[in-house]
Amino acid sequence: MYEVQATAGTVYILRPEFGSDLLKELGDFVRAKGINLAWFSALGAVSRATLRYYDQVKKDWVDLELDRRLEVAGMLGNVSLLNGEPIVHAHATLADEQGHCYGGHVGADTLVFNLEILLTTLSGPAVTRKMDPQTGLTIWQK
Ligand code: ZN
């Protein structure tokens, strides 16, 4: 079991700009604030989204482009380090007008309609992602 002990620090309440690319907006924010470790949750709506699914057998991503307006029924994410830079990792459950949901790893070009985010910064030893041959993913490793 990979383990790091961290302490919760400043908590930010955030509303990304209308029309902004969610991952870029959050990435810019954490870099500007020097945040290397954080956990966040969010709810709201997006005007379009890219959700990604990782094919564990092929070790490759499958992208689902959702060119439609969707509720963010829930979003969870974190910030840790990859190649010395903070990287935002987010997953979301997105609902359509019938309440049917899509879920997955949030990709680029997911555009904010409105989003309410609670981001808790964490302090402690660096949490770093490195390429893992077993999964083919950049995962937390010592
Ligand atoms: Zn993911």
Sorted by where each begins, the domain ranges of the chain are: 16-141
The CATH classification of domain 16-141, taken from the options 3.30.1330.80, 3.30.450.20, 3.60.21.10, 3.40.190.10: 3.30.1330.80
Query: Tokens 């987010």 identify what position?
Result: 90
CA dist., res. 66 & res. 83, Å (int): 30
Q: How far is the CA of 53 from the centre of ligand 1 (A)?
A: 8
pLDDT in tens, 37-62: 999 999 999 999 999 999 999 999 99
Q: How far is the CA of 89 from the centre of ligand 1 (A)?
A: 6
Q: How far is the CA of 11 from the centre of ligand 1 (A)?
A: 23
CA atoms within 13 A on the CB side of 75: 33
CA dist., res. 5 & res. 17, Å (int): 33
Q: How far is the CA of 104 from the centre of ligand 1 (A)?
A: 7
CA dist., res. 24 & res. 61, Å (int): 20
pLDDT in tens, 83-121: 999 999 999 999 999 999 999 999 999 999 999 999 999
